[in-house]
Amino acid sequence: MEYRTDRSLSVAEYIDLLNATTLGERRPVGEPDRIRQMLRHANLMATAWDGDLLVGAARCFTDFAYVTYCSDLCVRESHQRQGIGKELPRTVLAAAPCRIVLLAAPKAVDYYPRIGFTQHPSAWTIMPGGLD
């Protein structure tokens, strides 16, 4: 397995990865232009490669000093239980040595503590149109 923060990936590769994980259910995989924007504006992307196959990714936004927000952490179902989901945050921390924050998908709530994350007591969100 090769872990990288400097390898670009195509929209098609990322959509394929998302569809091979449970994140495909919650990401706009039918909107390639939106995925393109998501990839373009992430300023830290850690990826896991099995040869030429993208098998995992951590799509992040960071200030490289205080906090990194991990928007997507995903591993192909065919490659799960190999430590990839634990190694991707390590790769992120090597590139941006500061705290990583993420919001857990319901199906992943029990997973994150197993790879070293601790639960924060509160999180707040606001959706577009929520400031009327």
pLDDT digits (tens, 9 = 90+) for 102-112: 988 777 888 88
The b/e string for 91-111 (b: 16+ C-beta within 10 A; e otherwise) is bbeebbeeebebeebeebeee
- In this prediction, residue 68 carries a pLDDT of 95
Fold (CATH) for 2-115: Aminopeptidase (3.40.630)
The partner residues of 101 in beta bridges, in order of sequence, read 69
- Could you read off the pLDDT of 52-101 as tens digits, one per residue? 999 999 999 999 999 999 999 999 999 999 999 999 999 999 999 999 99
- In this prediction, residue 5 carries a pLDDT of 97
Joined tokens for residue 113 = 């503590």
DSSP, res 3: E
- CA dist 56 and 77 (Å) reads 10
Whole-model pTM?
A: 0.90
Domain boundaries of the chain, sorted by first residue: 2-115
The position carrying tokens 């397995």 is 1
- In this prediction, residue 121 carries a pLDDT of 79
- In this prediction, residue 39 carries a pLDDT of 97
Q: How confident is residue 131, by pLDDT bands cut at 50, 70 and 90? A: confident
Cβ-contact 45, 60 below 8 angstroms: yes
- In this prediction, residue 132 carries a pLDDT of 66
Cβ-contact 94, 113 below 8 angstroms: no
Closest CA to 62 of 84, 24, 33, 92: 92
- Could you read off the pLDDT of 10-33 as tens digits, one per residue? 999 999 999 999 888 899 999 999
